[in-house]
Amino acid sequence: MDQQWGDGTRLQHVGEEVKHCGAVNPPIFQNSLFVFDDLDVFLSRDRKPDGPGFSYSRLGNPSLTIVEKKIAALERTDKAKVFGSGMAAISAALLACVEQGSHVLAVDMCYGPTQGFLNEYLNRFGVTVSYVSGVDTDELLAAIRPETTVLYLESPSSLIFRMQDFRTITAECRRRGITTITDNSYSGGIHQKPATMGVDVVVHSATKYLAGHSDLVAGVVAGSEQFIDRLTEREINWLGGLIMPMGAWLLMRGMRTLKLRMRHAEEQGNALAQFLTAQSWVERVHHVGLDDFPQRDLRDSQMSGCSSLLSFEPKDQDADKLRRFIEALQIFQLGVSWGGFESLAVPLEISPMGWDGPRRLVRLYAGLEEMEDLTADLTQAAAQAW
């Protein structure tokens, strides 16, 4: 790969240097097993799972290697591994960083099942966890304990889009030997490169923007050669949370258009946020791309763009009216995920650290439908509710 290549070029060509029968798309290596015709090669085979000697698909498969090389190239890391889901990736990355007695510091708005894994699973093995909002860097650094081994970030988070100051935080964590992990799903890996700002390990729910078509569940861990090799030898080998070759191929196919889709997502997100800001029934819009985004300086220093995931707080917090609004939507479908072709809405009641109390909000994801149709849908639903 040419280091000068931009993301669009990397996504098309990295990992596909070898053409099979001249096929412009690589075949799907639908294999559990790779056999050897030479005993000496078998005995001496490179045990590195993603090395040239593929032996067994739990440890490495060419369909996975292709997409892993693209993800590492996208995230500016040495290596990456692809998993059967975002949670398989996140749990493996966290397990790689803790032992009995370890403390994990995490941001309170990180993905719910990630918190579940930290609170209700790792605690069974003597790992403690505590949370900070992540907005105040001094407060975050002050919450680090002598036994902290990993700092788990999600910037921006996916409900109210809080960011953390990667450069300051990771410099301090490096000094103290603490591994930093961030969930980078929001940015699709296009608009933010955490590894270039010192983050050790980048995870994604590839189900979202990376795959991009609501037809696949997948996850990603990207990091240094040392971290990924160790992860492959241990968590991948022993826990086996990998993706099937067909899934890896679909992820590769989805990622061909990632750059284009993220550029469009930014346009959609900004247009939708501007529309919402002007509506009488909206109290507050949470969107990374807004001019008055509370952390705009940090955003401008860490991100090159935003996406089409946002949320708003309705002025009228009445639960029944909110229900009427959600039920009246015709194009926006009721669903929790995002990053695919279809627009989605989900009502939430949350109480993040630093808020006075719980607030109801609606998270919206703008898909690939026409923006005029989406805003018309919101207008007619709001007229029925408020």
Ligand X SMILES: *Cc1c(COP(=O)(O)O)cnc(C)c1O
Contacting residues toward ligand X, per CB under 6 A = 85-87, 111, 158, 183, 185, 205, 207-208, 217, 219
* Residues pairing with 130 in the sheet: 105
Distance CA 255, CA 107 (A): 28
Residue closer to ligand X by CB (options 26, 305) is 305
Cβ-based nearer residue to ligand X, 149 or 158: 158
> Least distance from C-beta 339 to ligand X, angstroms?
8
CB of 218 or CB of 374, closer to ligand X: 218
Say what the alpha-carbon torsion angle 71, 85, 204, 243 is, to the nearest 10 degrees.
-10
H/E stretch holding 65 reads helix 62-75
**Long-range Cβ contact pairs of 110-116 (< 8 A, separation 24 or more):** 110/152, 110/153, 110/154, 110/157, 110/183, 111/86, 111/154, 111/158, 111/183, 111/205, 113/87, 114/87, 114/90, 114/152, 114/154, 114/183
Asked whether the beta carbons of 307 and 269 are under 8 A apart, the reply is yes
Task: Rank residues 27 and 116 by Cβ distance to ligand X and give the closer one.
Answer: 116
Smallest gap from Cβ 18 to ligand X, in A, equals: 29
Query: CB of 168: closest distance to ligand X in angstroms?
Result: 22
Do strands 103-107 and 148-154 pair parallel, antiparallel, or not at all (unpaired)?
Answer: parallel
Instruction: Closer to ligand X by CB, 156 or 314: give it.
Output: 156
User: Which of 217, 298 has the CB closer to ligand X?
Assistant: 217
Least separation in angstroms between CB 357 and ligand X? 24
The values of phi and psi at residue 260, to 5°, are: -60, -45
Least Å from the CB of residue 87 to ligand X: 4
Query: Residue 99 in 3-state DSSP?
Result: coil
Nearest to 288 by CA among 302, 299, 277: 299
In whole angstroms, the minimum distance from the beta carbon of 216 to ligand X comes to 9
Closest residue by beta carbon to ligand X:
86
> 180: which strand partners?
151
- Residue 61 or 85: which CB sits closer to ligand X? 85
**Smallest gap, in angstroms, from Cβ of residue 205 to ligand X?**
3
Min separation Cβ 131 and ligand X, Å: 16
Q: Quick count: other Cβ atoms within 10 Å of Cβ 216?
A: 21
Nearer to ligand X by Cβ, of 87 and 127: the residue is 87
Cβ proximity to ligand X: between 148 and 158 the closer is: 158
Q: Which two tokens stand for residue 8?
A: 């669009």
Nearest distance, CB of residue 305 and ligand X, angstroms: 17
* In 242-364, alpha helices (H): 245-255, 258-277, 296-302, 319-328
Tracing tokens 């099937």 back to the chain, one arrives at: 244
How, if at all, do strands 344-350 and 359-365 pair?
A: antiparallel
